[in-house]
A and B are shown apart, each in its own frame.
Chain A
Amino acid sequence: MLNGSSPIIKCSGLCKTYDTGRNRVEAVRGLDLEVHSGECFGLLGPNGAGKTTTVEILEGLLAPTSGSVEVLGMRWGAGGDRALRQQIGITLQETRLNDKLTVVEVVTLFRSFYRRGLDPAGVIEAVSLQEKRKARVEKLSGGQRQRLAVACALVGDPQLLFLDEPTTGLDPQSRREIWAIVRRHQARGRTTLITTHYMDEAERLCDRVAVVDHGKIIALGTPSELIARLGGGHVVEFAVNRQDLPLELGRVSDIPGIESACRQRDGFLLTVSAPHLAIPRLLERLNEWNYELNRLTTRHASLEDVFVSLTGRHIEDDGGDSASVGPGHAGHAVATE
C-alpha cells in the first residue's frame, strides 16, 4: 500500500481456539492482515480482543488453529525458523528478564544470539539507559525495564520489530521515550508492528491501524481515514438529569451537523461536523423536552470514537481498567451544568 513491494507480514483466515476442557475460547476468528515494508502498523483494541494471540502467532510463538501466516516471505515451522528469527525483534507483552543481570549483560546476551547486529553499548544509549548500564534489572523502574526489553529486541538490528503493548502501565515520560525509539526505527526504513489499547499511541505512531474486537478486524486504515469515516470531525458528549431520554438518531437527525448518535454508559455521544450549529439547537431541543443538562463536552474525534461508533463500547469497558485510555484526548469543556 505504501509501496508496491510484497508485504512483510501476510496472514489470512487466521483462527486460534483455546480448548480448556469445558471452555472453548475463540481468541482469533478469521483475521486477515497485510503489513508492508517500512510502515508502522498498529493492532488496536481492548484487552482480550485477541491482539496478543495474533501477534504471538505472527512471531511464531503460537501455532494458529487454522489460517496461513507469512513473515518476511517465510512460514513458521518450515525449517527456517532460526533464520527468520535472525531478522525479527520481539518484545513480549510482559518481557521478563533476569533480575540478577545488569543492563549491559542482558543486552550483550541477546546480541550474542544474532549473527549480525548492533553494538550493545550503542543500543543501550539509543534507549537512554547508558547511566543504568551497570544496574541490575531488579533495580530498574517499569519504564526502564520496558526500554531494556526494547533494546533486546533492537540489538539484532531487525527488519521487523514486534512490540506487544510496549507502554502499558508506563508514565507519560516513559511512553514518549518508547515512541521516540519506535520512530527512529521507522526512520531507518524498518517495519514495526505494535499492539496497543491506547488510542493516542496508535494515532501518533502508526501509519495504519487495524481495530480488533472479539478476534476480528472491524476497521482498517490510516488513523485519519478511520476518523474521517465517522462523518464528523468533532465529538459532543453530554449527560442529562434523568436516565429516560430516548435519543435515537431519528430524533436529532434533523439538527444540522449531527452525523451520528449513540448512548454511552452515563450519557450520549454525538459525532458532529459543525458543532457551532449543532450545539445551540441541541440545547434548545433538550429544553423543549424538559431535560436539564448535567455535562457537555466537545473535542476533536479520535480513534477512541471510531471504536465507540463501531462497537457501542468504550475501549476500557472490556479491560476493566479505567486507566487504560491514555492521555491525549485534547478535549475542552464548553459547558457544565
Chain B
Amino acid sequence: MEYHALKELWLCRVRQFYREPEAVFWTYVFPLIMIVGLGIAFRNRPAERIAVDVVKSDGSADAMAALSPPVADGFDVEVRRRIDCRERLRLGKTSIVVDVTDEGYVYRYDPTRPESVSARARVDDALQRAAGRTDPVAASDHLVMEPGSRYIDFLVPGLLGMNLMGGGLWGIGYVTVDMRVRKLLKRLVASPMRRSDFLLSLVGGRLIFTVPEVAVVLGAGVLLFDIMITGRVASVMAVALLGACSFSGIGLLVACRARRLETVTGLMNVIMLPMWLLSGIFFSYERFPAWLHPFIKALPLTQLNDALRAVILEGESLPSQWFALLYLTVMGTGCFCLALRWFRWN
C-alpha cells in the first residue's frame, strides 16, 4: 500500500474539522445567522409613517385634515390634550407636536432626534401646501427598490469576504497555536514529516471548508433576499477560494511564533480590526477621506471584497479582476513562505 503524507495530513485535518461541532458551527451556522439577522435588520421596508400629535384647539381639526388623506399621506395624526401631547413627545411615542395658534403653527420637537427633524420638514411641507403654497419647480420621485442595488446586495458579498477572512485567520491561526500548545507539533516534527506538507495540509483543509461556506452565504442571500448573482458562479467560487488561500497564508504567518492562545487571539484581532472597519464590509470605503484610500486598498480584504462585488453584482469576468487576484496570490504566498521560514515547531 502506498502512503502519501500530504494526503494523509489533509485527510486528518478534514476529519478533525468535521468532528469538531464548534468549528462547524462557527464556519457554517454563524455566518448564516449573521446574514439572516443583518438581512432582516436592513431589509427594505415600506416608507416609515410619521407619528404627529396635534394639540386640541379650535384649529386642530383643520390641521388634522391637512395631514390626513386624501390631502396628505404618511402621517399618523392624533389630536390630544396639550399635557398628553407633551408627555408622548417626552416618551418618544410621537415625533412632533403641532400647536395651532393665532400666529400660525408651532412645532415642538427634539432637534437631536433625526426622525423628529425629518418629521418637522414633512409636516411643515404638508401644512404649507394645504394652506395654498405652490412649488416653483416641478419635482418627482424615482424610488430604488429593485434587486441589485439594495443595501442587502451590497452587504452579502462583504459578509462573504469577512467570513473568508475570519475562517482563514481563525481556522488556521488558532488551530496551529492550539496544536503547538498541546505539543502535537512537537510530536510531528519528531517524525520525518516534511514541514511544508503540514502547512500545506492546513491550507488545503481550508480550501475544502470554503466551498460549503460560500454556498451557505450566497445560498442564503439568493433564497432569502433575492440576491442576483450576475457573474458566473464558478468565477465567484474561484475568487472565494483564492481569498481563502490568501487568508490561510496570513493566518499561518500570524500564528507562526505565538506560544499561547491569548497571544494569537490578540494578534488576530489587531490584524482583522482595520479590515473590519475599512475594507467595505458593511459600508463602502469611499466614505473615508481620499488620503486613506491607498492604505485601505492595500488591505487584502478590500481587494477580496471589491473582486467579489464585481463578480457577484456587476457580472465581471475573472480576467478583469486580475489585479485583485494577483495581489491576493502574492500576499498569501509571501505570508506562507515567511511562515514556513519562521515557524516555531517546539
Contact = CB atoms under 8 A, between A and B. Distances in A.
Interface of A: 59, 61-62, 82-83, 85-86, 90, 92, 94-98, 100-101, 105, 108-114, 119, 136, 152, 156
A153 to B, nearest CB: 9
A85 B12 CA distance: 22
B4 A112 contact: yes
Contacts of A96: 182-184, 187
B15 A101 contact: yes
Given A98-B16, A109-B12, A113-B5, A92 B192 contact: no
A45 B193 CA distance: 32
A11 to B, nearest CB: 18
Interface string B195-225: 0000000000000000000000000000000
B260 interface: no
Contacts of A108: 3, 8
Contact of B19 (A59, A82, A100): A100
Contacts of A101: 12, 15-16
B178 to A, nearest CB: 11
A92 B20 CA distance: 26
B230 interface: no
Contact of B191 (A90, A98, A105, A136): A90
Contacts of A97: 184, 187
A61 B183 contact: no
A92 to B, nearest CB: 6
A156 to B, nearest CB: 7
B3 A85 contact: no
Contacts of B186: 61, 92
A156 B3 CA distance: 12
Contacts of A152: 187, 191
5 contacts: A92-B190, A112-B5, A112-B8, A114-B3, A156-B191
Given A101-B15, A113-B5, A92 B194 contact: no
The 3 closest A-B pairs by CB, nearest first: A112-B3, A85-B192, A112-B8
B65 to A, nearest CB: 72
B123 interface: no
Given A61-B186, A95-B187, A108-B3, A113 B16 contact: no
Interface in B31-70: none
B9 interface: yes
A156 B7 CA distance: 18
Contacts of A113: 5, 191-193
Nearest to A93: B183
- Most B CB atoms within 10 A — which of A111, A112, A152? A112
Nearest to A106: B12
Interface in B157-205: 182-184, 186-187, 189-194
Contacts of A105: 11-12, 15
B190 A98 contact: no
A82 B192 contact: yes
B269 interface: no
Nearest to A60: B190
A229 B106 CA distance: 112
Nearest to B8: A112
B3 A61 contact: no
A83 B191 CA distance: 10
Contact of B16 (A86, A94, A100): A100
A90 B190 contact: yes
Contacts of A111: 3
B346 interface: yes
Interface string B1-31: 1011101110110011001100000000000
Contacts of B8: 108-109, 112
Contacts of B12: 98, 101, 105, 109
A119 B16 CA distance: 23
- Most A CB atoms within 10 A — which of B187, B189, B193, B194? B187
A125 B5 CA distance: 22
B190 A61 contact: yes
B192 A100 contact: no
A61 B189 contact: yes
Given A82-B192, A86-B192, A109 B183 contact: no
A104 to B, nearest CB: 12
B4 to A, nearest CB: 6
Contacts of A82: 192, 194
Interface string B232-248: 00000000000000000
